Structure 1
C-alpha cells in the first residue's frame, strides 16, 4: 500500500499537530485574559489601607509564610490564615500572638514576636483584608 492509499499522511498529521497547538495556545490566551480581567473585581484592592500595608510588612519580615499558608501559598506546618479573621476575630488573633509560645505539649510552638499594639492592629487589619478577597471558596472549609 503506498502513502496515498493509507488515508492518513504525514502532511495530515502535521496539520493536526499545528492546528491543535494553535487552538490550545489561543484557548490558553483567552483563559489568561479572562482571569486577568477579573482580578480588579476580586482582589479587594480598594480596601488597602496604610494599616494593611504595614500588616503585610509584618507578615513578610516575621516570615509567617515559613510556617503558615495564606490563600494556599506557604508552608503547611501551621494553619491556613486566609480566613482566620472570619474564624476567630481580631481580638483572638491579638491575644493568641501575645500568648506565644503556649508551651502545649506535643505541639510545634509559635515564636513570640513581641509585637506592640500598633503592629498587632496592623497584622489583624492585613489578615482581615486578606479574608475579604474573593478567593472563590478557598480555603474549602472554614477551618482552613
Structure 2
C-alpha cells in the first residue's frame, strides 16, 4: 500500500516563523525609533522655546484648552485646530478673539472667558506662534485646520 504523507506546518516550522517574524518586526521597530530620534531635534523647534512660550503652554494646560481644541492633531474636536492659527489669523486676531469670548451667538458653542491679562495673552500667542513653527510635515493638511 502506498501511504500519502500529509504536508503542512510542523511545530518547528511554526516556531521558526514566529521567532523569525518577531525578530524582524523588533528590528524594524528599533530602526524606526532611531530614525525618529534622529529627526526630532531638527523638527521640534526646541531652540525657539522662551519663557513666554513656556508660560503660554502652562496657560494652555491649566485652562484645558485641549479639552475643546486640537493642537497638531491632538485633543478634542469641538473647536478649531490651533496648530497653525498664528499663521492663519495673526497675533492681534487671536488676542481679540479670546478677549471677546463668549460671543453669545445662538446655536454656537461658547468659549469661556478666561479673563487673561495682557501678559498672559501675549504668552499664549507666543506659545501658538511657536507651535505653528514646529515642522509637522504640512499638518494639518488644510490651512483652516
Fold shared per TM-score above 0.5: yes
How far the C-alpha of 1:51 sits from its partner, in A, is: 0.5
Q: CA RMSD in A?
A: 1.2
Name 1:110's counterpart in structure 2: 111
SS class of match (1:128)? helix
**CA shift in 2, pair 1:61/1:10, >3 Å:** same
Aligned residues: 142
TM-score, with structure 2 as normaliser: 0.94
Kindly indicate whether residue 129 of structure 2 is the aligned counterpart of residue 128 of structure 1.
yes
Matched ranges for 1:20-59 at <5 A: 20-59=21-60
After TM superposition, give the deviation of residue 7 of structure 1 in Å: 6.1
Which segments of 5 or more consecutive residues in structure 1 lack a partner in the other structure?
A: none
Q: Residues 54-133 of structure 1: matches in 2 within 5 Å?
A: 54-133=55-134
Where do 5+ consecutive residues of structure 2 fail to align?
A: none
Q: Which residue number in structure 1 is paired with residue 19 of structure 2? A: 18
Q: CA deviation at 1:6?
A: 2.1
Deviation at 1:57, TM superposition (A): 0.7
- In 2, Cα distance between equivalents of 1:54 and 1:97: 17
* CA positional deviation for 1:10: 2.3
Once residues 9 and 44 of structure 1 are traced to their aligned partners in structure 2, the CA distance between those partners, rounded to angstroms, is 53
Deviation string 1:2-54 (CA, Å, 9 cap, x unpaired) is: 4xx62643212221121111001100110011111211100000000110001
Instruction: Report the Cα distance in structure 2 between the residues aligned to 1:27 and 1:105, rounded to whole angstroms.
Output: 53
What TM-score do you get using the length of structure 1 for normalisation?
A: 0.94
> Equivalents in 1 of 2:106, 2:7: separation in Å?
73
CA distance in 2, matches of 1:32, 1:47: 24
